[in-house]
């Protein structure tokens, strides 16, 4: 992992683990075969972080969550588009978001907070 990527991952990880009831594990991505930090809330996926050539996250998108994302005016418009364009893999839609900087972490955190609120409702 490149030093800048490591710094950005550290910021992202800190923000994720600050959400109550969030558990961290290391899982294997069945599609890529790579090991990934995965974060769950109450046994349900919150987000997976991918650390290969680039840093990106995948967020599960169920219909209720997608509806809340489309109605939330506080989310970055590009993130909302990524959620709308989520691709189905193994019966689950996943939004994929690349993260290159700390400012992009700040843009993604509200999405993760919204997902967290759905999982803890």
Domain positions in the chain are 3-120
Q: How confident is the model at residue 19 (pLDDT cuts 50, 70, 90)?
A: very high
Fold (CATH) for 3-120: 3.90.1150
> ∠ CA(73), CA(111), CA(104), 5° rounding?
100
pLDDT tens across 94-110, in order? Answer: 999 999 999 999 999 99
| pLDDT surpasses 80 at 1 | no
What pLDDT does residue 2 have? 79
């Amino acid at each position: 992992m490149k030093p800048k990527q490591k710094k950005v991952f550290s910021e992202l990880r800190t923000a994720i683990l600050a959400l109550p009831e969030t558990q961290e594990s290391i899982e294997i991505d069945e599609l890529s075969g790579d090991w990934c930090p995965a974060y769950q809330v109450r046994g349900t996926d919150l987000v997976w972080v991918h650390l290969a050539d680039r840093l990106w996250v995948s967020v599960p998108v169920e219909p209720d969550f997608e509806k809340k994302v489309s109605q939330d005016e506080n989310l970055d418009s590009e993130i909302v588009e990524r959620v709308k364009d989520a691709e189905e893999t193994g019966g689950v839609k996943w939004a994929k978001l690349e993260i290159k900087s700390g400012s992009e972490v700040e843009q993604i955190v509200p999405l993760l907070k919204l997902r967290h609120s759905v999982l803890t409702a």
